[in-house]
Amino acid sequence: MKRRQFLQGAGAATLAAGALASGTAQAAPEFKWKMVTTWPKNFPGLGTGANYLAKLIGEMTGGRVQVKVYGAKELVGALEIFDAVSRGTAEMGHGAAYYWKGKSVAAQFFAAVPFGLTAQEMNSWLYHGGGMELWEELYAKFGLVPGAAGSTGVQMGGWFNKEINSLEDLQGLKMRMPGLGGEVLKRAGGTPVLLPGGEIFPALQSGAIDATEWVGPYNDLAFGLYKAAKYYYYPGWHEPGTTLESFINKEAFEALPKDLQVAVRNAIRVANQDMLADFTAKNNRALDQLVNQHGVELRKFPDEVLTKLKALSDEVVKEEAAKDPMAQKVYDSFIKFREQATAWHAVSEQAYLNARTL
């Protein structure tokens, strides 16, 4: 009898524990977020990078945070995502910080600086050189929490329908080029035009712009830019290691339990690493296809042109930083880190790559 009573009691306790566990699982918070992007829906590399980040967040939070991705113009315009996330229309955004120079001059340093940091150097500055703390300080003013969510690596110099043999060939050129690179182009006598990705091809094909940069072979092939321009120049002096960003509405982020905050931050960091690997792998094949299947003429900018652009870049970046105390603070940190990285890479990465091509 006592044995039967014990088993009945144990069974009841087990059922009660099961009910409690079930109730706890049902009561666990579930967060459904919207992510707006500056990229066309499912666009290779950039759009798919946003999709991958959303998937990672779902997996790394055990499904407790679910993110639905909206391409450019699906919910808001490509260049409206910063404001949309800031005011809470969407919880997350995926883009590039140089699009927000109108909000803050300092924002551009967290995307790409002409003759600035490579992808490896940029990640080092952000994660271990004080860059991320500065980025968070800047975006806090807009109610946002930023994170590095991908990198294209060194980009290409752009698509042209005429040869660039001297700096004078940039005079009067209308070229799609955002951020600090666009300011350098202006100093060189060209006219920078800011266009979201989805509008580049028709603008180039119609003659609304004379030239364009976008990303690199992988993305440029997807847009079919080879159909509208003849010459493909390198290197991408204006974007040597372009960092893509994900930013989160601060209130939405702080509403997450601490464990989910950590999971979301780590998902962004994993996505950052994965995108660079993706671009490095796929640019190889895409460049071969552009040159050998589509007859694109690959050209290197003359050293004389690069030398002059470097001098103009140094002037422009320094002047831009002086416009705003926060920009100056970021600039000082960025330049100091670049000097340190340059000295080290002269005897490591650069020396090895030079030796590999002997």
Phi then psi for residue 22, to 5 deg, are: -65, -40
Q: Would you state the pLDDT for residue 3?
A: 43
What is the number of H-type helices and E-type strands within the chain? 13, 11
Please say whether the beta carbons of 271 and 52 come within 8 A.
Answer: yes
User: What are the structure tokens assigned to 54, written together?
Assistant: 């959303």
Cis-peptide, bond into residue 202, ω within 30° of zero: no
Phi then psi for residue 284, to 5 deg, are: -60, -55
Question: In the chain, which residues have pLDDT < 70?
Answer: 1-29
**Distance separating alpha carbons of residues 144 and 311, to the nearest angstrom:** 34
Q: Would you state the pLDDT for residue 90?
A: 98
Q: Would you state the pLDDT for residue 312?
A: 98
Q: Would you state the pLDDT for residue 18?
A: 41
User: What are the structure tokens assigned to 254, written together?
Assistant: 């702080």
Question: Which domains does the chain carry?
Answer: 29-152+241-281 (3.40.190.170)
The DSSP output letter for 236 is -
**Distance separating alpha carbons of residues 256 and 262, to the nearest angstrom:** 10
Beta-carbon count within 10 A of 103 CB: 16
Closest CA to 232 of 247, 245, 221: 221
Q: Would you state the pLDDT for residue 243?
A: 98
Taking only the tens place, the pLDDT of each residue in 132-175 is 999 999 999 999 999 999 999 999 999 999 999 999 999 999 99
Q: Would you state the pLDDT for residue 237?
A: 98
Question: What distance, in Å, lies between the first and last C-alpha atoms of the chain?
Answer: 89
Q: Would you state the pLDDT for residue 190?
A: 98
